[in-house]
């Protein structure tokens, strides 16, 4: 069997059923092999940042990797930003990159570049295939590396000639490793802290924020008085539906510090210590009180939910869902289309089991506040802060969960980074409703400009954060890629259009022009 087919079959044997690709000359054998391995779903993306972001979204929903197929160094380069986000999300991604044939490499041809150097900036594991006969072994190893735990980007670079050379048989699946049981020592230490009577809190991320972990956390909060916080960068949170929903740490450091104020102990569950997104003049980046002691109940990649359950048992409390009120908030005043109004509308209309791909940036807080009253949904937030995440993650989530509605809540500035995702949504007829939050500005930078001490904006500075002159027309952009689209400028228009969009099969874009 030639290398290309051996790769696809080995990936399939190891649970990879979807590949997001933008192939070139050096990947042609893989493309040809798709007709011999029809089990592998191939999804064409018109820019590699869509491939890598879609693989992230896919992994966040299913907890297992999809593959990418990228063309040489430049193809990988275009995918790096969303691989960065996947890395910060601890998403497993099997990142396959084509390389020139081994005989061609020495000539420094136009497309030659340092692929390994690029890949190392985002990958937990980088390997260039050494010889065609190791294709099966390498493909199996790269899937294992991606899966971790914790999940990571694992990059396999394959010279073109190894794809057309004899490579032997594909590797059969091997048993996957079980997560080890929680550490009894860590559990006992956390229990001691909780029983001490000193103010204590949890900071949770990873798998711990899903239902099993949060039920245990709810019980611990009720039984011990501990405060519970979600990390801002947990990759996927199930929310709504009356669930106990801890607050996420705030974006700006003052607000986050206020949330953590007074704690003597902070128990980390699959989360790094709390730090602010950016550093600012005269302000510290670390967010917990100076005298707060950190305890790691479950390191990143461990089974935090099991650790929390063990801790609840150790503390003698019931690990049980703690219901929270689901009454909708008051309807925001006025007929204008504000972020609050969009959140209020979504809270009423989101179908049970929706998936929200959230790249709302400056509109985020207002909308998420309203969504506390929504039916159950999964929330996929920003993780690495590299913009252009939202639409590709929505594509990946929709392919992972074809029976659920995906709602991409997308800032207009960020959406422009990877708008090519809309074409893939149209081709695959994905169940995605995209809401473009059009404030026609990099609005968050108005605040950051003040915070970094840069002072008032003059006219020339202002024009660098201003997305008008000309206004983007997202209705035309979407239609240009085959996605039906409408524009809403009032609350009534948005409500009607969102209702129709949810009922519509396939992708829809609503450009929500904010008041």
Question: By CB under 8 A, what part of segment 84-103 binds a copy of itself?
Answer: 84, 88, 100-101, 103
Residue ranges in 344-403 that form contacts with a copy of itself under rule CB under 8 A: 382-388
Helix residue spans in 262-362 (DSSP H) = 304-315, 339-349
Q: How far is the CB of 465 from a copy of itself (least distance, A)?
A: 7
Q: How far is the CB of 84 from a copy of itself (least distance, A)?
A: 5
Phi, psi of 26 (to 5 degrees): -70, -5
Q: How far is the CB of 304 from a copy of itself (least distance, A)?
A: 19
Question: Cβ closer to a copy of itself: 198 or 471?
Answer: 471
Question: Cβ closer to a copy of itself: 155 or 345?
Answer: 155
E strands in 130-179: 153-159
Q: Binding of a copy of itself at residue 502 (CB under 8 A)?
A: no
**In the sheet that 200-204 helps form, which strands lie side by side, from edge to edge?**
247-248, 227-230, 200-204, 265-269, 293-298
Contact range with a copy of itself by CB under 8 A, out of 133-141, 144-152, 272-280, 335-343: 272-280
Contact range with a copy of itself by CB under 8 A, out of 105-113, 138-146, 257-265, 290-298: 105-113
Copy the structure tokens of residue 463: 């024009």
Buried b (16+ CB within 10 A) or exposed e, 370-400: bbbbbbbbbbbbbbbebbbbbbbbbbbbbbb
Q: Binding of a copy of itself at residue 420 (CB under 8 A)?
A: yes
Q: How far is the CB of 68 from a copy of itself (least distance, A)?
A: 13
Residue ranges in 202-261 that form contacts with a copy of itself under rule CB under 8 A: 233
Q: How far is the CB of 268 from a copy of itself (least distance, A)?
A: 14
Residue ranges in 149-178 that form contacts with a copy of itself under rule CB under 8 A: 160-161, 164
Q: Binding of a copy of itself at residue 470 (CB under 8 A)?
A: yes
Which residue in 313, 314, 365, 448 binds a copy of itself (CB under 8 A)? 448
CA distance 102 to 131: 10
Q: Binding of a copy of itself at residue 416 (CB under 8 A)?
A: yes
41-44 vs 18-22, strand pairing mode: parallel
Contact range with a copy of itself by CB under 8 A, out of 109-117, 306-314, 319-327, 367-375: 109-117
Buried b (16+ CB within 10 A) or exposed e, 39-68: ebebbbbbbbbbbbbbbbbbbbbbbbbbbb
Q: Binding of a copy of itself at residue 1 (CB under 8 A)?
A: no
Q: Binding of a copy of itself at residue 325 (CB under 8 A)?
A: no
Q: Binding of a copy of itself at residue 290 (CB under 8 A)?
A: no
Question: Cβ closer to a copy of itself: 322 or 395?
Answer: 395
Q: How many residues in the shown chain lie near a copy of itself by CB under 8 A?
A: 105
SS3 274: coil
Query: How is the chain split among helix, strand and coil, in percent rounded to 5?
Result: 40, 20, 40
SS3 504: coil
Dihedral sign computed on CA atoms, order 464, 466, 467, 468: negative
Copy the structure tokens of residue 407: 């709602």
């Amino acid at each position: 069997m030639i290398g290309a087919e051996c790769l696809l079959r080995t990936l399939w044997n190891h649970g990879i059923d979807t590949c997001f690709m933008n192939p070139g000359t050096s990947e042609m054998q893989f493309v040809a092999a798709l007709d011999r391995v029809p089990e592998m779903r191939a999804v064409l993306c018109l820019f590699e940042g869509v491939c890598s972001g879609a693989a992230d979204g896919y992994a966040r929903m299913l907890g297992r990797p999809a593959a990418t197929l990228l063309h040489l160094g430049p193809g990988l380069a275009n995918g790096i930003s969303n691989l960065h986000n996947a890395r910060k999300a601890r998403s497993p991604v099997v990142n396959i990159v084509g390389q020139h044939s081994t005989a061609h490499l020495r000539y420094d041809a136009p497309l030659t570049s340092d692929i390994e150097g690029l890949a190392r900036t985002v990958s937990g594991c980088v390997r260039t295939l050494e010889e065609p006969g190791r294709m099966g072994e390498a493909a199996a190893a790269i899937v294992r590396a991606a899966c971790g735990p914790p999940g990571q980007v694992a990059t396999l670079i394959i010279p073109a000639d190894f794809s057309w050379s004899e490579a032997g048989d594909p590797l059969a699946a091997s048993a996957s490793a079980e997560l080890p049981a929680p550490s009894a020592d860590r559990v006992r230490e956390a229990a001691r802290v909780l029983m001490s009577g000193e103010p204590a809190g949890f900071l949770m991320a990873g798998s711990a924020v899903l239902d099993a972990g949060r039920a245990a956390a709810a019980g611990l909060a009720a039984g011990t008085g501990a405060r519970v916080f979600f990390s801002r960068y947990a990759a996927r949170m199930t929310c709504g539906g009356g669930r106990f929903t801890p607050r996420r740490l705030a974006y700006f450091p003052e607000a986050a510090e206020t949330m953590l104020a007074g704690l003597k102990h902070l128990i980390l569950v699959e989360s790094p210590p709390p730090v602010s997104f950016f550093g600012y003049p005269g302000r510290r980046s670390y967010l917990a009180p100076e005298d707060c002691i950190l305890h790691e109940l479950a390191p990143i990649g461990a089974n935090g939910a099991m650790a929390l359950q063990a801790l609840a048992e150790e503390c003698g409390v019931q690990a049980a869902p703690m219901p929270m009120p689901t009454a909708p908030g008051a309807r925001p005043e006025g007929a204008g289309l504000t972020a609050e109004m969009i959140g209020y509308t979504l809270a009423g209309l989101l179908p049970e089991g929706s998936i929200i791909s959230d790249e709302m940036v400056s509109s985020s807080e207002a909308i998420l506040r309203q969504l506390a009253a929504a039916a159950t949904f999964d929330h996929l937030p920003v993780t690495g802060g590299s913009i252009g995440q939202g639409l590709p993650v929505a594509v990946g989530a929709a392919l992972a969960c074809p029976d659920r509605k995906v709602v991409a809540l997308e800032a207009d500035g960020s959406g422009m980074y990877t708008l090519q995702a809309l074409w893939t949504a149209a081709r695959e007829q994905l169940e995605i409703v995209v809401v473009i939050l059009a404030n026609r500005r990099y609005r968050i930078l108005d605040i950051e400009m003040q915070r970094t001490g840069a002072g008032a904006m003059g006219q020339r500075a202002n024009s660098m954060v201003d997305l008008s002159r000309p206004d983007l027309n997202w209705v035309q952009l979407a239609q240009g890629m085959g996605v039906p689209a409408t524009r809403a400028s009032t609350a009534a228009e948005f409500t009607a259009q969102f209702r129709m969009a949810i009922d519509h099969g396939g992708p829809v874009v609503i450009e929500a022009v904010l008041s």
